[in-house]
Amino acid sequence: MSIAIEARELSCTLGGHQVVETVSLAVRPGEVLALIGPNGAGKTTLLRALGRILRPSGGVALLAGRPVWQIQPRAAARMVALAPQGGIHSPLTVAQLVALGRAPSRGWLLPLTPADRVAVERAMERAGVTSLRDRPLAALSGGEQRRAILARALAQEPRALLLDEPTAALDLRYQVAVLDLARRLAHDDGLTVVVTLHDLNQAALVADRVALLANGRLLALGAPAEVLTAGLLARAYGVPVAVGSHPVYGTPLVTPLFPIQPEANHD
């Protein structure tokens, strides 16, 4: 099976500071890779470099074996889609936003073809925003906007999907729906999926492999049970944790330990 996305000794600098340092990893078609690590570890920066949004300061990101910056932007957008963090301040409706995902296939000015419309409708259905199609983005909650952004990425019909904190601001139902969709896109449709997550237990449930970042470096890469260990997590996050087993799925179950000191007795 060929490698769909790869980082080779990848480094990224932002504002004069090195945020990602010599990270190497590869993600195969049909696989979900979760990027985890504390705030400032470089997860989002690495994701943007893999998606041809941020040019690295060293090393190379490859897509289908080619350096991403040697691929024309529209061609790259037909191969890989990024659903970023944050909301959108725009007068567009949900359907109009999702239709922008067809631009790499048809250009910015051409009208939607019947095939484009099918792709837009399917993307909205899969992201659970069909009922919101005529709502302006400004009228949506943060979670609804996140799902609309995901639908736009799906409308590109990419072969690789990069999801930056896709469950942030979502209620429990839609967290489960988005994570389940990510797994099905990889395992059933053969997409390469890379997702950043803060929730370690979500990463254990959805990911085939986990990449643990700390201080811009890759600390560990492997199956969830190999990476989500008390020692590695304490080293990365600086807090003690207990790692057990999920009662239903058997995946690692991470619980932080609170080092609360007993109050002194002043009696």
Q: Give the whole-angstrom CA distance, residue 161 versus residue 78.
A: 11
Whole-number pLDDT of residue 2: 54
Q: Residue 178 CA to chain centroid, in angstroms?
A: 11
Q: Give the whole-angstrom CA distance, residue 23 versus residue 12.
A: 10
Q: Give the whole-angstrom CA distance, residue 57 versus residue 15.
A: 12
Whole-number pLDDT of residue 248: 96
**Average pLDDT of the segment spanning 56-72:** 96
Asked whether 159 and 2 are in contact (CB, 8 A), the reply is no
Cβ contacts of 214 within 8 Å, gap of 6 or more: 37, 38, 41, 235, 236
Q: Give the whole-angstrom CA distance, residue 76 versus residue 63.
A: 8
Cα separation values, 183 from 101, 110, 121, 123, 147, Å? 21, 33, 21, 16, 16
Exposure b/e, 97-115, CB count within 10 A at least 16 = b = bbbebbbbbeeeeeeeeee
Whole-number pLDDT of residue 86: 78
Note the pLDDT tens digit of each residue in 197-254. 999 999 999 999 999 999 999 999 999 999 999 999 999 999 999 999 999 999 999 9
Q: Give the whole-angstrom CA distance, residue 12 versus residue 218.
A: 13
Query: Which residue is listed with tokens 């769909």?
Result: 4
Whole-number pLDDT of residue 220: 98
Higher per-residue confidence, 90 vs 55:
55
**What is the pTM assigned to this prediction?**
0.92
Q: Taking all residues of the chain, what is their mean pLDDT, rounded to a whole number?
A: 93
Residue 206 has which token pair?
């959805």
Q: Which fold has domain 1-64+159-267?
A: Rossmann fold (3.40.50)
The domain ranges of the chain are 1-64+159-267, 91-157
Q: Give the whole-angstrom CA distance, residue 116 versus residue 6.
A: 30
Higher per-residue confidence, 136 vs 105:
136
How many percent of the chain have pLDDT more than 90? 87
